[in-house]
Amino acid sequence: MTKATKSAKKAAKPEKTKAPPVSQVNKNTLLTPETLPTPVMAGRDFLSNLDMSAAELRAVMDTAHSMKRGEWRGVKPLSGLSLALVFEKSSLRTRTTFDVGMYQLGGHAITLSNTEIGLGTRERVSDVARNLERWVDGVMGRVYLQQTLHELADHAAIPVINGLSDMLHPAQLLADYQTIEEEFGTDLRGRRVVYIGDGNNLANSHIHMGILTGSDVTIVTPVGYEPNAGVLMDAVQQSTQITLTHDLAAIEGADVLYTDVWISMGMEAEADIRRRAFQGYQVTPGMLDTLAPDGIFLHCLPAHYGEETVPEATEHPKSRVFDQAENRLHAQKALLYHLMGDMKPRW
């Protein structure tokens, strides 16, 4: 290879994307142990976004924004506390952000895969809960069934957090709405949030967040893939209007467009049927051009490019997908603080 060829190859190599800069914090805004807010959900479980009130959500979101600004760098409110991370499903964002979040707050996380504990197979879920409550101060579960989380919570006297289930993904929605607030402010009443795709756990949790925030939630799905009927009843009972439609025209003018994979983990056997059903529901740059002028695109990741979206959409100027992924860390740190912030080490 000649020097000229080497130089040409070097020139063609794309530059690395720089990491976001570390925020500069005014020393006068740094929190101290004496100025920490009162934990608003102390000792409770977080299995659904509806496990918090609108006021409690506001407190958690304010803490998340404060943490992102770096105002908590001088405090370690979870020092000496431990969180068990229980995984039936694989994870990048959930695993990393809960682990790093506990570390940054002064605590410790231990990861337990299902091959190690065998929830409901090697050992009863209730027995796992009774063991963990004697060793750690909280449990985060990323599991197949919502019922597994309820069983853990019923038998453990420590906070249990839903890191994902078949029914709901409430921790993800905290990060999503932190990202939305960064664009539109904290009053989201009437803001059009349009979810397109499978009426899955993300769609269900969007309905719950519509109840809490007053955002105008629309769910666009193919026929037969609508959200859970029980979750829709939650909205009815709270007198919250949720729009369900199969018409892609509902996307036009939206403030937020959100999608998720068509084929979730555990649904691989339905892959071909689902790909046919969801034809036309792919988020493309052309679709993003129909949003409100300041509209944004969100995706919880991982993306199945070529199915529910394309790389040109996640890299589009309207995309906030990677800000959204970053906010998993800040939002979940805020959640951990408000659930565990008044605990003391037991050792």
Q: Which residues are catalytic, by number?
A: 142, 169, 172, 260, 300, 328
Report the alpha-carbon distance of residue 145 to residue 151 in Å, rounded: 10
Burial 191-216 (b: 16+ CB within 10 A, else e): bbbbbbbbbbbbbbbbbbbbbbbebb
Cβ-contact 314, 321 below 8 angstroms: yes
> Is 260 among the annotated ligand-binding positions?
yes
Q: Is 171 annotated as a binding residue?
A: yes
Please, are residues 191 and 184 in contact by the beta-carbon 8 Å criterion?
Answer: yes
**Residue 201 assigned to a binding site:** yes
By CB neighbour count within 10 A (0-12 exposed, 13-18 middle, 19+ buried), where does 145 fall? middle
Q: 3-class DSSP state for residue 164? A: strand
Q: Was 264 annotated as part of a binding site?
A: yes
Phi and psi dihedrals of 224, rounded to 5?
Answer: 95, -5
Sign, CA torsion 317/322/328/329: negative
Q: Please, are residues 87 and 111 in contact by the beta-carbon 8 Å criterion?
A: yes
Task: Report whether 188 belongs to an annotated binding site.
Answer: no
Residue 4, C-beta contacts closer than 8 angstroms, at least 6 positions apart: none
Q: Does 300 belong to an annotated binding site?
A: yes
Q: Is 293 exposed, middle or buried (0-12, 13-18, 19+ CB in 10 A)?
A: exposed
Is residue 119 a contact partner of residue 140, using CB atoms and an 8 Å limit? no
| Residues that constitute the known binding site for L-ornithine | 201, 260, 264-265
| Residues that constitute the known binding site | 142, 169-172, 201, 260, 264-265, 300-301, 328
| Residues that constitute the known binding site for carbamoyl phosphate | 142, 169-172, 300-301, 328
